[in-house]
A = this chain, B = another copy of it.
Amino acid sequence: MVIIMKPTASEQEITFVINYIKRNYDLRIDTITGEFQTIIGLIGEENQVDFELLELLPGVERAHRIQTPYKLVSRSYHSADHIIDVKGVRIGGSSRPIFIAGPCSIESKEQLLQIAAQIKSAGADILRGGAFKPRSSVHSFQGLGEKGLELLARAGEEHGMPTITEVRGETQVEMVAKYADILQIGARNMYNQDLIESVARQHKPILLKRHFGAGFDELLNFSERAIAEGNRDVILCERGLIPVGKGRQHTRYMLDLSIVPLTKIESYLPVIVDPSHATGRRDLVLSMSLAAIAAGAHGIMVEVHHQPEKALSDGPQMIRPSELQHLISTSLNIYQHITKET
């Protein structure tokens, strides 16, 4: 539910309304202070609320229910695009698409510094690398842990790129937040509300990956968990759904690009695409990246390795730095056409 204050509402009136709600209902509050108006969002079970009464409070222009299951993340609540600034890299709205690149796993100092240097000169904006790997099998490489985080922070600093890495569980939240600029919640954790809320409280930008079985509403619902904690800096990321075509699968997942224009219609949050996990194949990454940009994505997150054949994980889907350069320049050309034309 949303309370829209009059453009002429005073500080006192706004405070009065907020206090009134806190006193009378078991609800939390989110406030958007716009250029002209303040909007107050209510968080929790709305059935308890008497709408008509609220509209009688001083300074209130209108109170209305938002029909979608997600509310704080909806364009009906907050109409302007939300742009996230990470150390000068702007993500969202009509900013040019950004490119997040780096290896699947951080394997060693040499590996990471070399890749960081090469993706920087290929045009990447943000450095990625996994330190705590979510793995299906207890018998696989599980990542370097905190040592990996240190290497990531250092490589980002040396090459002037903000960094992103995954937080796999609640016990690692504070540690990862000490090192990385963007905290990633992986696809397997998209439904993990406790983790999302815990990460949101670090007040750093969050990248929330869509689970491979999640509907679009669910992606928005769980991003709402972060906003309800007071952190609106959420980047959504499509990385493919369970493939349904019968028989042999030619890709790891199925990239659902419709999510890109849908997000722009339904929400104000930025949305990017990860073609590496979606396809699982190096030879499809370029085509699917260009398709994502043509569909309007705010960015691409792609796995890059200087020696994919020697990688400890995800080798078959990582591209080389030279391929990244071509991907970025063609993407930016397409972006300029889309923008000019639309």
In the complex, per-residue mask of A150-188: 1 if CB is within 8 Å of any chain B CB, else 0: 000000000000000000111110000000000000001
Is there a chain B Cβ closer than 8 Å to A284's Cβ? Answer: yes
Expressed in whole angstroms, the Cα–Cα distance for A290 and B330 within the complex equals 14
Q: For residues 238 through 286 of chain A, which have their beta carbon under 8 Å from a beta carbon of chain B?
A: 241-242, 244-251, 254-258, 260-262, 265, 278-279, 283-284, 286
Cβ of A165 to closest chain B Cβ, rounded Å: 15
Q: Which of A31-39, A55-63, A214-222 faces chain B? A: A214-222
Is there a chain B Cβ closer than 8 Å to A191's Cβ? Answer: yes
Cβ of A53 to closest chain B Cβ, rounded Å: 19
Is there a chain B Cβ closer than 8 Å to A86's Cβ? Answer: no
Is there a chain B Cβ closer than 8 Å to A137's Cβ? Answer: yes
Is there a chain B Cβ closer than 8 Å to A311's Cβ? Answer: no
Expressed in whole angstroms, the Cα–Cα distance for A326 and B337 within the complex equals 12
A293 / chain B contacts, CB cutoff of 8 Å: 294
Are A188 and B194 in contact, CB atoms less than 8 angstroms apart?
Answer: no
A44 / chain B contacts, CB cutoff of 8 Å: 138-139
Are A246 and B213 in contact, CB atoms less than 8 angstroms apart?
Answer: yes
Is there a chain B Cβ closer than 8 Å to A107's Cβ? Answer: no
Expressed in whole angstroms, the Cα–Cα distance for A44 and B211 within the complex equals 26
Are A138 and B258 in contact, CB atoms less than 8 angstroms apart?
Answer: no
Expressed in whole angstroms, the Cα–Cα distance for A337 and B332 within the complex equals 10
Cβ of A268 to closest chain B Cβ, rounded Å: 17
A342 / chain B contacts, CB cutoff of 8 Å: 286, 330
In the complex, per-residue mask of A186-202: 1 if CB is within 8 Å of any chain B CB, else 0: 00110111110010000
A192-B169, A246-B218, A287-B295 are contacts. A138–B261 as well, Cβ < 8 Å?
no
Is there a chain B Cβ closer than 8 Å to A89's Cβ? Answer: no
Which residues of A does B touch, CB under 8 Å? 43-46, 69-71, 134-141, 168-172, 188-189, 191-195, 198, 211-218, 221-222, 224-225, 228, 241-242, 244-251, 254-258, 260-262, 265, 278-279, 283-284, 286-288, 290-296, 326, 329-330, 333-334, 337-338, 341-342
Interchain Cβ contacts under 8 Å between A and B, 30 examples: A44-B138, A45-B139, A45-B140, A69-B137, A69-B139, A71-B139, A135-B193, A137-B221, A137-B224, A138-B221, A138-B224, A172-B194, A213-B242, A213-B246, A218-B246, A244-B254, A257-B288, A258-B284, A258-B288, A261-B283, A261-B284, A262-B284, A287-B296, A288-B295, A291-B291, A291-B294, A329-B341, A333-B341, A334-B337, A337-B337
